Homo-oligomer: A and B are copies of this chain.
């Protein structure tokens, strides 16, 4: 029996690469900057896993993703000759992670799934990012779960297990939904069910997972297909 679906967000529900490139260009272009905006987005995102690893390993106390994003931004600015940006511009740029656009199938698929299951993001993004992405894209979910509530980052077990516990559910009554096989492998190890969603263009045209590289309970083309598979 499935009671709840837990969604990975960056890459699975929203297209961070195009959105960050677009927002950075809109913000910095008028200031006279002209760089490869997609490379900028990719470079920023490349700092994501290493920065969380400091927390996952216990070397650093939990800090929320907005703060890691900001530190990671500082790290990459010189590489793009953007070290002259003032504090307000940096802060505004960091908020681009609150304005990411959903893949087109998501709002419709989620509304169908919401009618049958409890839904929550189980993301490494903090609560305010999730709240803003939901408003921006019309996401339907019951509450925000994930890293900030667990005070630990995926793929550490606490992120998955605390989310099941928050809804009074056994892990086996929850499905982790993600476009990343590593996330699903970690969730499965915690006893959750798993659903893979293909995002073949997450990291650029033809650069994304078209199918899972690990065993999963469900494999879907997108969120509407997942709603079909789960008869929602």
| Residue among A66, A127, A130, A167 having the largest count of chain B Cβ atoms under 10 Å | A127
- In the complex, A135 has a CB within 8 A of chain B: yes
Contact status B143-A127, CB under 8 Å? yes
User: Which chain B residues border A126 with CB–CB below 8 Å?
Assistant: 166
Among B128, B142, B168, the residue within 8 A (CB) of A135 is: B142
CB neighbours (8 Å) of A149 from chain B are 149
Asked if residues A66 and B142 are in contact (CB atoms below 8 Å), the reply is no
Q: Can you list 21 contacts pairing A with B, beta carbon distance less than 8 Å?
A: A66-B168, A118-B131, A126-B166, A127-B143, A127-B145, A127-B166, A127-B167, A128-B166, A128-B167, A128-B168, A130-B143, A131-B142, A131-B143, A131-B167, A134-B142, A135-B142, A143-B143, A143-B144, A144-B144, A148-B166, A149-B149
> How many A residues touch the partner, as a band?
10 to 19
Please give, as numbers and ranges, the residues of chain B lying within 8 Å of A168 by CB-CB distance. Answer: 66, 128
Q: What residues of chain A have their CB less than 8 Å away from a CB belonging to chain B?
A: 66, 118, 126-128, 130-131, 134-135, 142-145, 148-149, 166-168
Q: State the number of copies, please.
A: 2
Q: Who on chain B is nearest to A4 by CB?
A: B131
- Least distance between A67 CB and chain B CB atoms (Å): 11
Inter-chain CA distance A128–B163, complex, in Å, is 10
Which B residues lie within 8 Å of A143 (CB)? 127, 130-131, 143-144
- Measured between alpha carbons, how far is A118 from B144 in the docked complex, in Å? 14
